[in-house]
Amino acid sequence: MSGIYADPIGHWVVVVIAMVLLLFVVLTATAYTVWFERVALGRIQRRPGPNRVGPYGLMQMAADGIKLVFKESFIPAKTDRVIYVLAPAIAVGAAFLAWAVIPIGLWYNVQYWIADLNIGILLVFAVSSLNVYAVVLGGYASNNKYSLLGGLRSAAQLISYEMALGLSLVPTFMIVGSLRLQDIAGYTVHWGPYNGPLPLIILTPIGFVIYLIAAVAETNRAPFDLPEAEQELIGGFLTEYSGLKFVMYYLAEYVNMITVSALASLLFFGGWYLWVVPPVLAFFLKVVLFLFLYIWLRGTFPRLRYDMLMRLGWKVLLPLAIANVIVTGVILIAVQG
C-alpha cells in the first residue's frame, strides 16, 4: 500500500474506488433501511408490511425507487427555480460527505476510510449542519407558506438540538484526548479484573442519552418530526416537491439516520470491537440496533408539540449537557491528580 500512496495517480485511483464503493454500500443500506423500517413498523402495528415484491418483500424498494424516479416532477409557478432544484442536492451532498471520515473495521487490524483526519468528528458536525440550509432553502423557494413554516421550524429545531448534540460528546473527547474517530473507537479502559475494551457509554452514560435524543431531533424523525407535521403543515418543506427531488430529501434523511447510528457505535460502543465477533459484522449489528431504536421510537411515541420540543432542547438537554461537561472535567482533574 505504501507504494501505491507514494504515486499520486495511484493514490487518487484508490480514493475514487473507495468513494464509489462507499456510495454503493450506503445507497444499498439506505434502501434496505426503508424496507427494515416498513417491516418493523408492520410487526409493531400487527400488520404484514411489504411482502409481495420479491422474497420477503426485498425487491419492494427497487420497485418504489423506479416508480418515484419516473414520476412526473413539476415545479410550481413563481418559485425560485435554481434554489428549488439546488436544495435537495445540498441535502444529499451533506449526508454523504460525512462518510468521508467515518471508519469501518473490515477485519482484525484492517480498517476502511476515505480520509483519516485528526478532527474527523468536527468535519461530520460541519457538513451535517448544511442540512438546515437544504430544508430552509427548499421551504423558501417553494413559494408556499406551509413550506416556509416547515423550513423555519427545522432551522430553529436544528440550531437548538445541535448545541446539546455537540456538548454531549465533549466528555468523550476529554476522556479519549482525541477527535479522531479511529482513536475513539479503539479506546480501551482497563477496569479491575476485566482486561479489555469497555464501551465509553460506561464512562459517559449521560452524554449518550443526550446524544441519542438530540440526534433523533437533528434528523427530524418522530417524535421530533415537526418540520413536516402533516396535521399542521400539509407536508412542511416537502409540500411542493415530487419525483426525484422528493426522493433526494428522503434519501438524505435515511443516510443521516445511518450516519447517526454509525457514530453512536463508534463514540459509545467501541465501534467494530465486540469480543470474538468479526469486526465488520459487529459494526453492522450495532448500526442495525440503533436503526431499530429509531423505528421503535416512531412506532411508539406521539409527535411532540412544538413548544414542548423547544423547551426540551433549551431548558433540559442543553443545561444537562453543560453540567455533564463540568462534572466530567472535575472527575478527570481529580483522577489525574
Backbone CA torsion sign across 37, 39, 40, 46:
positive
Q: What is the pTM of this model?
A: 0.89
Amino acid 3: pLDDT: 39
Compute the CA torsion angle 64, 65, 69, 73 (nearest 10 deg).
50
Q: How confident is the model at residue 192 (pLDDT cuts 50, 70, 90)?
A: very low
More confident residue, 4 or 106: 106
* Spatial contact of 324 and 167, defined as CB atoms under 8 Å apart: yes
pLDDT at 115 over 60: yes
pLDDT digits (tens, 9 = 90+) for 172-182: 999 988 898 88
Specify the residue for cell string 479522531.
180
Amino acid 19: pLDDT: 81
CA distance 327 to 191: 20
Specify the residue for cell string 469486526.
279
CA distance 101 to 118: 10
Cell of 332: 478527570
- Those residues whose C-beta lies under 8 Å from the C-beta of residue 304, and which sit 6 or more positions away, are 223, 224, 226, 312
Cell of 55: 422474497
Amino acid 22: pLDDT: 83
CA distance 2 to 231: 58
Which whole-number Å values give the CA distances from 79 to 147, 244, 254, in the listed order?
12, 17, 27
Q: How confident is the model at residue 233 (pLDDT cuts 50, 70, 90)?
A: low
Amino acid 232: pLDDT: 62
Q: How confident is the model at residue 196 (pLDDT cuts 50, 70, 90)?
A: low
Question: Given the DSSP bridges, would you call strands 104-107 and 110-112 parallel, antiparallel or unpaired?
Answer: antiparallel
pLDDT at 46 over 50: yes
Per-residue 3-state assignment (H helix, E strand, C coil) for the chain:
CHHHHHCHHHHHHHHHHHHHHHHHHHHHHHHHHHHHHHHHHHHHCCCCCCCCCCHHHCCHHHHHHHHHHCCCCCCCCCCCHHHHHHHHHHHHHHHHHHHHCCCEEEECCEEECCCCCCCHHHHHHHHHCCHHHHHHHHHHHCCCHHHHHHHHHHHHHHHHHHHHHHHHHHHHHHHHCCCCHHHHHCCCCCECCECCCCCHHHCCHHHHHHHHHHHHHHCCCCCCCHHHCHHHHCCHHHCCCCHHHHHHHHHHHHHHHHHHHHHHHHHHCCCCCCCCCCHHHHHHHHHHHHHHHHHHHHHHCCCCCHHHHHHHHHHHHHHHHHHHHHHHHHHHHHHHC
Angle between helices 8-44 and 60-69 (to 10 degrees): 110
Residue type present at position 195? N
pLDDT digits (tens, 9 = 90+) for 57-113: 888 888 888 888 788 777 888 888 899 999 999 999 999 998 988 988 888 777 777
Average pLDDT of the chain, as a whole number: 85
Amino acid 306: pLDDT: 84
Specify the residue for cell string 505504501.
2
Amino acid 174: pLDDT: 92
